Amino acid sequence: MNTTETGIVYIVGAGPGDKKLITVKGLECLQKADVVIYDLLLNDVLLEHCPLHTEKIKAPDPRIRATRQAELNKLLVQHAKAGKVVVRLKGGDPYIFGRGGEEAMALVEAGIPFEVVPGITSAVAASAYAGMPVTHRDYASSVAFVTGHSAALHPDSNIKWEYLAKAVDTLVVYMGVAHLSQIVDRLTRYGRDADTPVSLVRVGTTPQQFVVQGTLADIVEKVESAQLKSPAIIVVGEVNSLREQLRWFDSKPLFGKRILVTRARAQASEFADILEENGAEVIQFPTIEIHSLEGHCSDIPSPKEYDWVIFTSVNAVEIYYQHIRDKGLDTRAFGDSKICAVGPKTVTALNTIGITPDFIPSRSQASVITAEIDDVNGKKVLLPRAKIASADLPDALHHKGAVVDDLPIYDTVKVRNDYNDVLEKDLLDGKIDVVTFTSSSTVTNFLEMFPHNTPKDLLSKVRVAVIGPSTKATAEEHGVHVDLVAKEATIESLAEAIIAVYI
């Protein structure tokens, strides 16, 4: 919290829908905020950058609150006078049809210090994501941004449509979908050629981005036929003809696909990033959390007591090593023990703490591990892993004569979600394209969250993708048809299997 008598307000542009288009400075402001007052249409994933103590306030809805701006101004002043660091998080850029100037004036009048952090405005971002540069040396040397709100179309409006119609090469109209026919009428009445290309870009920079193209002569009819609604920008000018050559975002293999990720939230970000980079809308619905079994930390055996220590997951490495550290030890405690790492992520986790595995099996299946490992007959083997892990591996090691300590060091705990009803309806209606499972526990926990439908009915209209054969077996035991299985037990391989379906 700010310790000065009066706080400060940062008026921050969050950019359009893509959460990664916020600036570095904008993120820095969020990371030190005591209070964030944010707009309705923002990607609220951005709020995850705030400290735990941050108070998050949704701005009043301008569609139903005529006094919205006065209320906002009052909130900014109130929290700043209480000594808080306040972030006013606005879509796009605060000073381009964002009323940031009005909020800044209110702060000046109240004697509140403030800073403005510009953002990427939707006219630039949505056009770029749709494949239309607002300027181009061969097509457009000038661009103008104008509001298409009803007030802009009144006879006493200060917008000079008679000049604007022909004064610039590219015209980008904000908030104009509801008044498209009037805007077209003004532009053509004042001399803009009816054959001028026009595009409307709805929710630009998001996986739901939708583009309708035409000319001033037919765009109204095309938009009505497509039933396109706001929010959208209107781009008028020859640059629209470049879309077929320059479109890149909505040609990604997973563009527009809604993919459900059931992995623990702490581990889901890398998987979500891969899917999002390929155009998907990722719905994070964690069904498990990883909880270290802290109760018997003092009973954790030293690794040097064993001939082999086998790590089957990143969680096993991180949690076991933390137990070792809590006992005042480090990697030297492994002594002459040989280390087995199952899977490339587990190898990386061991490398991070300075250990190079002695053995990496070609696959994660128990039969492969025991077939490829050195002779373990009479050897002591430590297997630190999940409480609910399958008995396949220790059984196979016992069969080869090993003396195995199967040590549960963490548990996968079911997560409570408040999104179940909405998600259940989307699944039943076929509004989710792919559901992913990265472990058997994600399968069982997920299905238990929806007791009113059989697994078969719940997932009949979606593709089911799993990370490996054991997860597939669990899904099929519950009557779930599995469409995709990763070639390797990694999130990268699972993502590749999903992408391959849509290429």
* Helical axes 68-81 vs 100-109, angle rounded to 10°: 50
Question: Is the pTM here over 0.95, yes or no?
Answer: no
Burial class (CB in 10 A: 0-12, 13-18, 19+), 110: middle
**What integer pLDDT is reported at residue 63 of this predicted model?**
60
Q: Do domains 124-246 and 302-408 have the same CATH topology?
A: no
Return the CATH number of the domain spanning residue range 302-408. 3.40.50.10090
Low-confidence ranges of the chain (pLDDT < 50): 1-3
At the second CATH level, the architecture of 258-287+415-502 is 3-Layer(aba) Sandwich (3.40)
Class of domain 8-119: alpha beta
Q: Cα 254 vs. chain centroid, distance in angstroms?
A: 14
Q: Return d(Cα 150, Cα 227) in angstroms, integer.
A: 20
**What integer pLDDT is reported at residue 119 of this predicted model?**
97
Neighbours of 385 (CB within 10 A): 24
Does residue 216 contact residue 193 with C-beta atoms inside 8 Å?
Answer: yes
Q: Return d(Cα 466, Cα 484) in angstroms, integer.
A: 6
Tell me if the domain spanning 124-246 has CATH number 3.30.950.10.
Answer: yes
Which tokens hold the place of 14?
């969050």
Q: Return d(Cα 89, Cα 230) in angstroms, integer.
A: 21
Q: Give the single-character DSSP code of 65.
A: -
**What integer pLDDT is reported at residue 435 of this predicted model?**
97
Does residue 76 contact residue 37 with C-beta atoms inside 8 Å?
Answer: yes
Which tokens hold the place of 468?
């490996």
CA distances in angstroms from 349 to 161, 314, 319, listed in the order given: 62, 6, 11
Domain ranges of the chain: 8-119, 124-246, 258-287+415-502, 302-408
**What integer pLDDT is reported at residue 1 of this predicted model?**
46
**What integer pLDDT is reported at residue 40 of this predicted model?**
82
Between the two ends of the chain, the Cα-to-Cα distance in Å is 49
CA distances in angstroms from 414 to 258, 292, 417, listed in the order given: 23, 14, 10
Q: Return d(Cα 428, Cα 420) in angstroms, integer.
A: 12
